[in-house]
Structure 1
Amino acid sequence: MEAGYTVLVPITRPDLDLDWAELGAPEAPLGREAFATVDVALVPASGVDPEGHRLGQGGGCYDRSLPRRRAGVPVYAIVFEDEVVTEPLPHDELDQRVDGVLTPEGARRIRTPD
């Protein structure tokens, strides 16, 4: 990439797990384990609570991939400011928490990475 970064984008597999490819090269999947090479993960969400519980779209795609990242790699949910809520969101033991949010107003941490 021009700025010196490699951007990986998801490819949803039939089993709802995620494969990964470099931005602009979806015809060359890198495999599920490519997620272990990222330095920061940006994931979609419909809401995030103060404990980092993320409301996704219900398929569990990112919850399957996030455990493959290296220890300490932060995860930021991409949301609008009004989707950062003060009340706890529903979650279970398989749901992966996020460390921060990225909104149009900017990025901020909400917890320390596991």
Structure 2
Amino acid sequence: MTDAEKTGFRQEYRRRRRELPALERAAQSAALTDGALTLLAERKQQAENTGQPWHGRVASVMSYGAEPDTGQLHARLAAEGVEVYVPVSLPQRQLGWVRWFPSVAMERSAVAPIDEPVGERFGVELMSRVDVVFVPAQAVDPAGYRMGQGGGYYDRFLAQLSEPTPLTVAVVYTHELVERVPRDEMDRPTDAVLTPEGLHWSVRTEH
């Protein structure tokens, strides 16, 4: 697929996301929140049953615009004592991570037109102590390959993960789980996909 075709694919799914009625976005976001909490509870129980480490930490994007709303998820996790870390934009299209909590101060990013939490910044090494990373996507396919915003931030981040790695889960609306996402050698898949209907393990993933 050419760059122009990839751009067209991305624009089409941006348009479809924007045109999703607000009430429908809210209903699907609520279902995604419930699905994420169920997944975390199951992973915690599995860790306790098998003697695997459970850190009580989650990494998740702060949503904006028409994206699936993560605000309620973050608030509920924080209320349950789970540490929530959100991404901040760094130079050279890299991601750092800052702890989020309901009263955290916000400031304008130095490298992107968004507001970000103020606090100690962590690098990818934090992920060895994180249980699950919820990854944004415009669309994703059953193999876990995702179409992002085009900046490559998350593909670089996913490529930097090393053992022990957290579970990586793309989060999308129902219509955004598609048959196949255009991909190239830089793209990195997630371990699973979460839609309002539930969790879908990537077809190449053993869990």
State the TM bucket, normalised to the shorter chain.
Answer: 0.7 to 0.9
Identify the residue that residue 85 of structure 1 maps to in structure 2. Answer: 178
1:18 — aligned with what? 95
The offset of 1:53, in angstroms, is 0.8
TM-score by length of 2: 0.49
More helix by share: 2
Structure 2 counterpart of 1:38? 130
Give the secondary-structure state (helix, strand or coil) at the position aligned to 1:76.
Answer: strand
Q: Pick the aligned partner of 2:149 from 47, 57, 60.
A: 57
Contact preservation (8 Å) 1:47, 1:85: yes
Q: Which runs of structure 2 are paired with 1:56-75 in the superposition (5 Å)?
A: 56-66=148-158, 67-68=160-161, 70-75=163-168
Is there any run of 5+ residues in structure 2 with no aligned partner, and where?
1-77, 105-116
Bigger mean CA offset, 53-62 vs 35-44: 35-44
Contact 2:127–2:165 (8 Å) recurs in 1 = no
> Which one has a bigger Cα radius of gyration?
2
Q: 1:38 to 1:16 in 2, by over 3 A?
A: same
Would the alpha carbon gap of residues 10 and 48 (structure 1) be closer, same or farther in structure 2, given more than 3 Å must change? same
Count of paired positions = 113
Q: Which has the higher contact order (CA 8 A, sep 6+)?
A: 1
CA distance in 2, matches of 1:41, 1:101: 11
Q: With structure 1 as the length reference, what TM-score do the two structures score?
A: 0.84
Separation of aligned partners in 2, 1:27 and 1:48: 31
Runs of 4+ aligned structure 1 residues displaced above 4 Å come to none
Identity %: 40
Q: Which of 177, 194, 197 is the aligned partner of 1:102?
A: 194
